[in-house]
Amino acid sequence: MADKQRNLGEALSRHMKDYIVTYVFLVMSVAFVWISGRGLTDIFSQLMGRLSRNLFIVLSLIIPIVAGMGINFAITIGAMAAQVGLLLAINWELTGVLGLLVAAGITVPLGALFGFLIGGLLNKMKGQETIGSLILGYFANGAYQLLFLFIFGKLIPLSNRVTIIGATGVANTLNLTGQTGLYMVLDNLWMITFSQAVYGVSIAIALLAALLYALKKLPLVRLFRLVGMAAVASALYALPPIHRILSTIRVPAAIFVVVGLLCLFNVSIMRTKLGQRFRAVGQNRAVANASGINVNRVRVIAIMISTVFAGWGQLIFVQSLGTLQTYSAHEMVGLYAGAAILVGGASIDRATNSQAIIGCLLFHLLFVVSQDAGVRLFGDPAIGEYFRVFISYGVIAVALVMHTWRTNVNRKKQSSLAA
């Protein structure tokens, strides 16, 4: 009995150690929500927008982490590829879903090519991928500016929809609204109310569980648990105070379907031979190599996939925002996405879908309320913005330190085991 208690205590303390950042964020978020004095409906509808915009990018970080390459800050470059695609789509006067698909299509070869190059470079600096990819992002920014300021417009002629007459290069803000026709394309594809979302998802889960049970792929206990959870969620939502807060929020269901597909991809790729290679390479390169896995190739593939996904994520982000800051929209992508996944309890060497989602939720909740909290506390909305940058870098620094510390502890444990 005492043994059991101690085990429980140990498990709990390990859990706290792994998720300390997450809990700190949770406490801070709740405090800030309270300080900001904003209505919950307001906060949650903003949060919904931010989640739908950012989740995809954050999820694109998972595969490189599993493959042992740390946080791929070079997803910035994927975002650049997507912006090239978007620029061309606007230039060719493609609108609506078609325009978005063309931009996404252009992102694939570009992102794959960039990912191939990034992966090759990161293979030359094994062990420093996180910092390496961060610097690569900055470096690529220079090349991007050259491309957009000089090569586009001068060498590759563009229409005046994306340039300013009398100036060099691409305009520094591209508007996606109006006749450009790319604003909220994906959001508006299938917009539903929060009620529809909750009940719809609950019913879908229950039906799917029943189907799997009928096919004998799910034990009865799991069936009951899933159906029970769906029922409880629906019932909770139906409670008047909760219903009042959430019922007016609108959900861009199409985006969440796409995000769901990416989650599904992340899970199912790990059940393939390639996924097994990602994991093997991530956990121990020497062993993977000895068993005949081409380590460098696997790592390049991981980065290529991540870069393309990040590009698609950036498309979702920009179409939802409505304007493209041509020269700066990509700059903070890697930083914010990296910080978000770390807040969810991921680390340099392990990450899951749920960590990405929880992290994204908490990270952006804090941002939604930090401005108002700044006003309330210091009378200055800018404090909120400073705070956000401060927190992002802080979280990343903490994660890097924790990683080194944990590796050292493990090494010590191993050497004492061997002794």
Partner 1 sequence: MPDQYVLEMRGITKRYGNNAVLRDVSLRVRPGEIHALLGENGAGKSTLMNLLFGMPVIHSTGGFEGEVLLDGQPTHISSPMKAMELGIGMVHQEFMLIPGFTVTENIKLNREITRPNLVSRLLGGELETLDTKAMRQDAQAALDSVGMRLDPDAKVAGLPVGYMQFIEIAREIDKKGVRLLVFDEPTAVLTESEAEQLIQVMRSIARQNIAVIFITHRLDEVMQAADTVTVLRDGSLVGEKPIRQTSVADMAAMMIGRGSGALAGRQARAACEGAPALSLTDFHVEMPGEEVKGISLEVCQGEILGIGGLAGQGKIGLPNGVMGLYPAFGQATLFGEPLPLNNAAQALRRGLAFVSEDRRGVGLLMDQSIEDNIAFTAMQVKGDFLGSTLGMRFQDRKAIRAFAQEMISRLDIRCTSPAQSVGTLSGGNQQKVCVARALALDPKLLFVSEPTRGIDIGAKQIVLESLARLNREEGLTIVMVSSELNELRSICDRIAIITEGKVADILLPGSPDVDFGLAMSGLSAREEAQA
Q: Footprint of partner 1 on this chain (CB under 8 A)?
A: 268-269, 271-274, 276-277, 279-280, 283-284, 286-288, 290-293, 415-419
Rg over alpha carbons for the chain, rounded to the nearest Å, is 23
Query: Whole-number minimum distance, CB 265 to partner 1, in Å?
Result: 10
Nearer to partner 1, 308 or 365 (CB): 308
Contacts of residue 274, Cβ cutoff 8 Å, sequence gap at least 6: 298, 301
Nearer to partner 1, 57 or 288 (CB): 288
Q: Which of 338, 326, 309 is nearest to 144 (CA)?
A: 326
Query: Whole-number minimum distance, CB 48 to partner 1, in Å?
Result: 32
Nearer to partner 1, 178 or 292 (CB): 292
Nearer to partner 1, 188 or 408 (CB): 408
Query: Whole-number minimum distance, CB 217 to partner 1, in Å?
Result: 13
Nearer to partner 1, 50 or 277 (CB): 277
Q: In this structure, what are the phi and psi dihedrals at residue 323, rounded to the nearest 5 degrees?
A: -135, 150
Query: Whole-number minimum distance, CB 221 to partner 1, in Å?
Result: 19
Contacts of residue 246, Cβ cutoff 8 Å, sequence gap at least 6: 41, 44, 194, 237
Q: What is the C-alpha separation between 258 and 303, in angstroms, rounded?
A: 20
H-run or E-run covering 57: helix 40-59
Q: Identify the residue whose tokens are 């080194």.
A: 404
Amino acid in the structure at residue 129:
E
H-run or E-run covering 173: strand 173-175
Nearer to partner 1, 239 or 290 (CB): 290
Query: Whole-number minimum distance, CB 28 to partner 1, in Å?
Result: 32
Query: Whole-number minimum distance, CB 291 to partner 1, in Å?
Result: 4
What 3-state DSSP class applies to 95?
A: coil
Q: What is the C-alpha separation between 302 and 70, in angstroms, rounded?
A: 11
CA distances from 216 to 202, 209, 219, 223, 226 (A): 21, 10, 7, 11, 15
Query: Whole-number minimum distance, CB 245 to partner 1, in Å?
Result: 41
Q: What is the C-alpha separation between 170 and 164, in angstroms, rounded?
A: 7
Query: Whole-number minimum distance, CB 347 to partner 1, in Å?
Result: 13
Q: What is the C-alpha separation between 215 and 86, in angstroms, rounded?
A: 44
Query: Whole-number minimum distance, CB 264 to partner 1, in Å?
Result: 12
- Per-position DSSP letters for 305-333, written without gaps between them: HHHHHHHHHHHHHHHHHSEEETTTTTTTH
DSSP 8-state assignment for residue 147: I
Q: What is the C-alpha separation between 247 and 221, in angstroms, rounded?
A: 32
Nearer to partner 1, 4 or 241 (CB): 4
Nearer to partner 1, 102 or 293 (CB): 293
Q: What is the C-alpha separation between 121 and 143, in angstroms, rounded?
A: 16
Nearer to partner 1, 197 or 295 (CB): 295
Q: What is the C-alpha separation between 21 and 5, in angstroms, rounded?
A: 25
Nearer to partner 1, 287 or 401 (CB): 287
Query: Whole-number minimum distance, CB 238 to partner 1, in Å?
Result: 39
